[in-house]
Amino acid sequence: MAFNGATSSVTQRGRDEPFDLQVSRNQIAFHTPLNIFGYGTTSTTAGLFVTMWENSPTTNYVFLTSPAQLYLASTQSGDSGALIVISGLDLNYNPISEVLALGGTAGTGVITAKTYWRINNISVAFSSTINPTGVITLQNQAATSGAIYYAQINTTTFNGSTVSLGTSQMAVYTVPNNYTAQLTRFTANSSFTGNTANYGTYRAVAQYPSVLNSSATLIKRVVLNTPFVQQYNIQRNFPFAYPAGTDVQWQIAPSATTACTVGINIGGVLIKNSVDTGNT
């Protein structure tokens, strides 16, 4: 709509718009849109589940076992100065983030200023004047060789040039302290065309802490197992709630000794818990 020649939101001048759109526009207090994307390849072992992320299937995703400063590295020295946003949680599951510039030595990481207990995402910052051309990794040691990776940004070819994908694509998420993840959209798209002997099985594995600190007892639950061909698509009218501190991995297993490539898309809203005890 237009008013005096200027575009005007329908929320102005006494009008309404859908609640979901208002959340996406940051107009609803304590509500943040949540979108989790994963992409990877299954193993060639029938029935073996692996988390869909940049290093599947050769390396399954593992969480940090103790809070630590991490190292950000690139496979290309020409990525020096590129700015990467690191988003994660501290040892009390509180959200923390920083923007870190890549160093000039390929395969050698720059240490983070903050200490992380969980990593939810790394992305090329919008303020970066350099689009990386190497693979970016967030790891447990300065040297890339032999390191454990906690997030990775791969590259792609666009118009004949190698450029960064721009963000990590791992089907992994940890819910921050004093928040509940209310998830409503669960999809997986597989390269398997599907038949009675060639399908994928989708599952979510949740790890719940007994208390919110790094030494908590962790209780695992396989939330569901669902066979599917080509596409798994669930839209929930009533959101699936994951409480604060829950680690979730979305995994796929092939039915046969053939690997398939899978993209995962999880969506919902992250809602800050009420100050009233027991009211989320």
Residues 150 and 95 placed together within one structural domain of the fold? yes
User: SS3 helix, strand, coil % of the chain, rounded to 5?
Assistant: 5, 50, 50
State the CB neighbour count (10 A cutoff) for residue 76. 18
Measured CA distances, 193 to 163, 200, 210 (Å): 30, 10, 41
Instruction: Decide if 243 is inside a domain.
Output: yes
Give the Cα separation of 190 and 261 in Å (integer).
6
Which of these three, 118, 141, 164, is where a domain ends? 164
Q: Please report the pLDDT score of residue 18 as a whole number.
A: 87
Ramachandran assignment for 124, one of left (phi > 0), alpha (psi -120 to 50 degrees), beta (any other): beta
User: What's the CATH number where 191 sits?
Assistant: 2.60.120
Instruction: Examine the pLDDT at 9 and tell me if it is beyond 70.
Output: no
Q: Which segments of the chain does DSSP mark as H helices, in order?
A: 19-24
Of the pLDDT bands very low, low, confident and very high (cuts 50, 70, 90), residue 2 is very low
- Residue 54 and residue 127 share a domain: no
Q: What are phi and psi of 5, to 5 degrees?
A: 85, -5
User: What pLDDT does 265 receive?
Assistant: 97
**Inside any domain, residue 141:** yes
CA 144/CA 83 separation, integer angstroms? 18
User: Using CB atoms within 10 A of its CB, is residue 92 exposed (0-12), middle (13-18) or buried (19+)?
Assistant: middle
pLDDT of 1 over the 50 cut? no
Does residue 20 sit within a domain?
no
Shared-domain flag, residues 103 and 146: yes
Closest CA to 131 of 83, 180, 65: 83
Whether residue 21 is contained in a domain is answered as no
Do the Cβ atoms of 219 and 202 come closer than 8 Å? no
Same domain, 89 and 157: yes
Mind listing the pLDDT tens digit for each residue in 216-271? 888 889 988 999 999 999 999 999 999 999 999 999 999 999 999 999 999 999 99
Which one of 164, 189, 220 terminates a domain? 164
Alpha carbon distance 249, 263 (integer Å): 13
Q: Looking at the domain assignment, is residue 240 inside a domain?
A: yes
For residues 107 and 136, membership in a common domain is answered with yes
Q: What does the pLDDT read at residue 35?
A: 96
In a domain, 7, yes or no: no
Task: Report if residue 18 sits inside a domain.
Answer: no
The pTM assigned to this predicted structure is 0.91
Helices (H) and strands (E) in the chain, counts: 1, 20
Q: How far apart are CA 12 and CA 9, in angstroms?
A: 6
**In a shared domain, residues 268 and 179:** yes
Token duo for residue 101: 């510039």
105 within some domain? yes
Domain final residue pick, 164, 186, 217: 164
Same domain, 187 and 205: yes
pLDDT band at residue 16 under the 50/70/90 scheme: confident
Domain span holding position 45 = 29-60+172-272
Do 183 and 241 share a structural domain? yes
Number of C-beta neighbours around residue 264 at 10 A: 25
Domain count, the chain: 2
**Using CB atoms within 10 A of its CB, is residue 173 exposed (0-12), middle (13-18) or buried (19+)?**
buried
Two structure tokens written together for 67 = 């809070």
Residues 176 and 265 in one domain: yes
Predicted confidence (pLDDT) per residue in 142-186, tens digit: 999 999 999 999 999 999 999 999 999 999 999 999 999 999 999
The widest CA-to-CA distance across the chain, in whole angstroms, is 64
